[in-house]
Amino acid sequence: MNRQSKTIYLNFARLNISLALRIAFLVALLLIVTSIILIIRYADPSLRRQLVALALVLPFIGMALAFLFLKQQLRRLSYKVTNEAWELMLPEEQKQRLNARVHELASALNLKDEDLSNLKAAYVLAEDLALRQIEQEKQVSLRRHVRIGDAQFDAVFFDKDYSTLVEIAFLVTPSISQKKIDTVLAKVQRALQKFQKIRSNRKVKLLFIIVTQMEPEAEQQLKKSLAERFSKSTVDVDIRLLDFEALQRIYTED
């Protein structure tokens, strides 16, 4: 008879700390009462007052230190569990994802097939520079080209409270299809379900980066449109517009 192995996720992040505190308090109280009885019965009368004071204070100090240690360990375990939710995309998956985006952008720009190689190089550069900028601003190390469940993202990073999913788009006009936005939000929901499955207590946020080559007026129009379209999202959404030429001046030009 074949047995199928199953992964069991332990909810370290949501252990009942209040119950643990109650138990620790009762243990401390029992130790105090026992210590006082022993002190009164056997200790030198001249030292009883000092010993009783120590018996009252030391258990609570120990309980406080134990609580701080437990809280720190739970946070580390929570981070480890969350960190195991993602995996790197395979090279073939990354290639397919890149080609699909480049062809979509080429169609919007009415470019011919012979121009695809230059467009692909520009897209790769734009993506890399945008992620570098986010690393500098957030002071975090990004995990690039990752999969969470079956949802693919350009990057992900974890801070104290959030798991932030990073999605990048390259636009030259102040318009983005509703289909694109719906696709991004659907991926975020699938990733959220994955995090819920492993019982991570972190909140999920989407960082949607738009690398642009357009005039400031067009950027403002795009920003307003995006804010309206993402207003009904069930997760926090941070929208960033980054100018491609400005990124090149910062990171590639002398």
Last residue of a domain, one of 58, 83, 108: 83
* 223 CB burial (10 A radius; 0-12, 13-18, 19+): middle
Mean pLDDT comparison of 79-83, 84-88, 151-155, 218-222, highest-scoring range: 151-155
On the question of pLDDT at 115 being above 70, the answer is: yes
Is the pTM for the entire model greater than 0.75?
A: no
Same-domain pairing of 224 and 100: yes
Same-domain pairing of 243 and 119: yes
More confident call, 85 vs 34? 34
On the question of pLDDT at 29 being above 80, the answer is: no
Looking at the domain assignment, is residue 174 inside a domain? yes
Same-domain pairing of 218 and 131: yes
Question: What's the rounded Cα separation, in Å, for the pair 229 and 117?
Answer: 32
Q: Residue 26's domain spans which residues? A: 12-83
Return all residues near 106 (Cβ < 8 A) that are at least 6 apart: 115, 116, 119
The gap from C-alpha 130 to its chain's centroid, in whole angstroms, comes to 18
Q: What is the DSSP letter of 141?
A: -
Over residues 166-210, the pLDDT tens digits come to 999 999 888 888 889 999 999 999 998 888 877 566 788 999 999
Map residue 148 onto helix, strand or coil.
strand
Looking at the domain assignment, is residue 1 inside a domain? no
Return all residues near 103 (Cβ < 8 A) that are at least 6 apart: 116
Same-domain pairing of 79 and 95: no
What CATH number is given to the structural domain containing 173? Answer: 3.40.91
H or E stretch at 7: none
Question: What's the rounded Cα separation, in Å, for the pair 188 and 205?
Answer: 8
Quote the percentage of the chain above a pLDDT of 70. 83
First to last CA, the chain: 68
Last residue of a domain, one of 60, 83, 106: 83
Q: Are 152 and 89 in contact (CB under 8 A)?
A: yes
**Angle between the 116-138 and 244-251 helix axes, to the nearest 10 degrees?**
70
